[in-house]
Amino acid sequence: MSTTEIPAGTWVIDPSHSEVGFSVRHLMVSKVKGNFHTFDGTITIGENPLDSSVTASVDLDSISTRDEGRDAHLRSADFFETETYPKLTFASTSVLADDGDFKVTGDLTIKGVTQQVVLDLEFNGVSGDPWGGTRSGFSAVTEISRKDFGIDFNIPLDGGGHVVGDKIKIFLEVEAVLQGADVPAEANA
């Protein structure tokens, strides 16, 4: 089964087939990319897809930019302050159709600060899996100002600019598994 229609119900994000990533300007000449290894989330699809919702949580300690020194600095009080604020959370507030795709508006909380963000969401389809389960796929992207969340550490550069850009592009690749009594346990693995 493969379809562009998503069944109503509760879907759980499969972290082993999903990614929460980001990119940020470095020295104004390149972009550093990273991701988070530990996260979870639930997508509730309504009979009308515009009545759907999503909640998600990201363990900020699981950040990886492929440089342990930089990752440790990002966990520190200069950036995420993970000892005090271990999680990033998202809870949607609305879903709107957008020329075949969707705009998902929600409350993003980082470091104790909540701001409204809009995710540009692409629904990638639904498919059965080898274990008798049903999976759906989504791609989403948004851009935030880290300063809006109280993350304003930076080092100025000679001649202007800063070491780390303010705008953070967040991208998501999500595979979710439909939950229910008729779904085999191994389909949720």
* 3-17, 36-50, 81-95: the lowest-pLDDT one: 3-17
The tens digit of pLDDT for each residue in 163-174 reads 677 899 999 999
Structure token pair of residue 150: 């109280």
- How high is the pLDDT of residue 4? 64
The tens digit of pLDDT for each residue in 62-93 reads 999 999 998 999 999 999 999 999 999 999 99
The tens digit of pLDDT for each residue in 124-133 reads 999 998 988 9
pLDDT band at 18 (very low <50, low <70, confident <90, very high): very high
CA atoms within 13 A on the CB side of 111: 15
What is the three-class DSSP state of 41? strand
Neighbours of 16 (CB within 10 A): 7
Q: Which is more confident, 65 or 2?
A: 65
Please identify which residue in the block is written with the tokens 């550069």: 157
Q: Which of 152, 153, 171, 155 is nearest to 163 (CA)?
A: 155
Report all structural domains of the chain as residue ranges with CATH numbers, in order of start.
2-188 (2.40.128.110)
